[in-house]
């Protein structure tokens, strides 16, 4: 199936920019891009001139991949189902690991980025002190973390959100969670 972007046109003279990016990210295929610009014919020349500046270029490999997915919808559905299964199995495993600890795993509805929520009350008196002890513990245990603030999550002291990517190797997630659990004093686990 060959896709021609010139076959897409707009009946409205004030058409908006439509951009779809990384629609395959839900399957862990981060590199594919698809972009489309719907515009009046009078804007073609300035739009083409600005494509590289604004990141609207489409590489041939991504276009061919998108075309192949469009030609085999059942395959795309199977890939999405497999990705969903993988993510949910690992999330369930993570939930079991944190049972009875100061940690909890937020439920995923859709997607593969989740959060581990840590109750920091046993790590100090102030949130600054608690957060520092959490980060020092992660450093000591060689466990890199991305805290909620780095993902634009709301602050919620005395709790701290830690980002989880359920498309990582399962051992990386489970080892990281086990290491984070070790940061708390024995009496709180």
Collect contacts of 75-84 with beta carbons under 8 A, ≥24 apart.
79/27, 80/26, 80/27, 83/26, 83/27, 83/28, 83/112, 83/167
Sequence ranges of the domains in the chain: 5-71, 80-188
pLDDT at 59: 63
Q: Token pair 């999550």 is at which residue? A: 153
pLDDT digits (tens, 9 = 90+) for 13-40: 455 554 555 555 555 555 555 556 666 7
Domain topology for 80-188: 3.90.1150
Q: Which stretch of 56-65, 81-90, 162-171 has the lowest confidence by average pLDDT? A: 56-65
Omega of the bond leading into 44 within 30 degrees of 0 (cis): no
Instruction: Write down the pTM of the prediction.
Output: 0.65
pLDDT digits (tens, 9 = 90+) for 55-74: 655 566 767 777 888 888 89
pLDDT band at 128 (very low <50, low <70, confident <90, very high): very high
Q: Token pair 């450093």 is at which residue? A: 139
Q: How far is Cα 38 from Cα 9, in angstroms, rounded to an integer?
A: 6
């Amino acid at each position: 199936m060959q896709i021609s972007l010139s076959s897409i046109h707009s009946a409205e003279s004030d058409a908006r920019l439509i951009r779809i990016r990384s629609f395959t990210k839900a399957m862990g295929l981060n590199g594919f891009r698809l972009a489309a610009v719907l515009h009046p014919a009078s804007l073609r020349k300035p739009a083409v001139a600005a494509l590289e500046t604004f990141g609207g270029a489409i590489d041939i490999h991504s276009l061919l991949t998108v075309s192949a997915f469009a030609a085999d919808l059942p395959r795309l559905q199977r890939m999405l189902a497999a990705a969903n299964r993988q993510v949910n199995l690992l999330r369930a495993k993570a939930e079991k690991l944190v049972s009875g600890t100061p940690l909890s795993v937020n439920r995923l509805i859709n997607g593969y980025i989740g959060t581990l929520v840590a109750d920091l009350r046993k790590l100090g008196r102030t949130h600054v002190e608690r957060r520092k002890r959490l980060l020092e513990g992660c450093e000591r245990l060689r466990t890199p973390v991305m805290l909620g603030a780095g993902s634009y999550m709301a602050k919620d002291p005395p709790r701290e959100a830690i980002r989880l990517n359920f498309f990582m190797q399962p051992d990386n997630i489970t080892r990281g969670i086990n290491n984070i659990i070790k940061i708390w004093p024995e009496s709180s686990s």
